[in-house]
Structure 1
Amino acid sequence: MVDLSQYLPILIFLGIALLLSGTFVFLPMLVSRLTGTNKPTPEKLTEYECGFPAFEDSRSQFDVRFYLVAILFIVFDLEAAFLYPWAVSVFTLGWTAWISMMIFVAELALGLIYAWKKGALEWE
């Protein structure tokens, strides 16, 4: 038989976390609603972008190349985040760490070559 009483501290912790997070989210909204003035006007409800009204509909689609460049940026940013700690401790980790990092860098290089050949980095 499984003793479920061991999970009681976890459930208490989860309940307290949910209560506190809900309090931190909804209490400021409630206090601002009760203490502040709520007079929405059409000017207050309009979109605000860089100090001037939007040029076109906010639901317009972005070019897919924008997302490809953004994904490539994130991938290579993460590569830098992995390379710095590895470079600091490479001499204490041994050959296994060096070989695994070279495989990781080779996979990223292949991905970059593939994206380059497909034209993901070209902008018109």
Structure 2
Amino acid sequence: MPQPPADAPALAADYFQGYSVVGLLAALGVLFVAVAFGAGRLLRPVAPTPEKLMTYECGVDPVGEGWAHTQVRYYVYAFLYVIFAVDSIFLFPWATVFAAPGYGATTLVEMFVFLGFLTVGLLYAYKKGVLEWT
């Protein structure tokens, strides 16, 4: 059976020292948030009145039920925006690698595959009528 190196405990200590710093910072962060919330709870005035317990709606007294119908298409537009924003983020690193020697043809093919997937998704959304504003 092979023997571990003589400095194995020192290597383990060095290895876990990096994690101990991260753990200590995470614990301090949690403690800071807990102290802030606790101080806010202790220092704030508590005087509930019917007006304070009423739903606030831009300075106007709420009328009717609290349930409102929202058109789903707005979420679809937001989702499509996020998809294309993320895709544009992928274009910048691709452009830098494309200029590197030896990567031109490979990255060009990969980008056309990527843009093909985007086109298929956009055509699907168009075919389903998602992009029509009515």
Shorter-normalised TM-score: what interval? 0.7 to 0.9
- Give unpaired runs (5+ residues) of structure 1: none
Larger deviation, residues 62-71 vs 91-100: 62-71
Question: Could you say which residue in structure 2 is the equivalent of 1:70?
Answer: 78
Q: Deviations over 1:70-90 (max 9, x none)?
A: 211110111111112322442
1:9, distance to aligned residue in structure 2 (A): 4.2
1:108 maps to a residue whose letter is L
Match of 1:26 among 4, 21, 34: 34
- Give unpaired runs (5+ residues) of structure 2: 1-7
Q: Percent identity?
A: 36
Change over 3 Å in CA distance of 1:104–1:18 after alignment to 2: same
Which of these two proteins has the greater Rg computed from alpha carbons? 2
**How far apart are the structure 2 equivalents of 1:122 and 1:54?**
33
Q: Which has the higher contact order (CA 8 A, sep 6+)?
A: 1
**Superposition TM-score, scaled by structure 1 size:** 0.73
What does 1:82-97 correspond to in 2, within 5 Å?
82-92=90-100, 93-97=103-107
Root-mean-square deviation (CA, aligned residues, Å) is: 3.0
Contact 2:76 2:130 in 1 (8 A): yes
**How far apart are the structure 1 equivalents of 2:120 and 2:62?**
40
Question: Could you say which residue in structure 1 is the equivalent of 2:4?
Answer: none
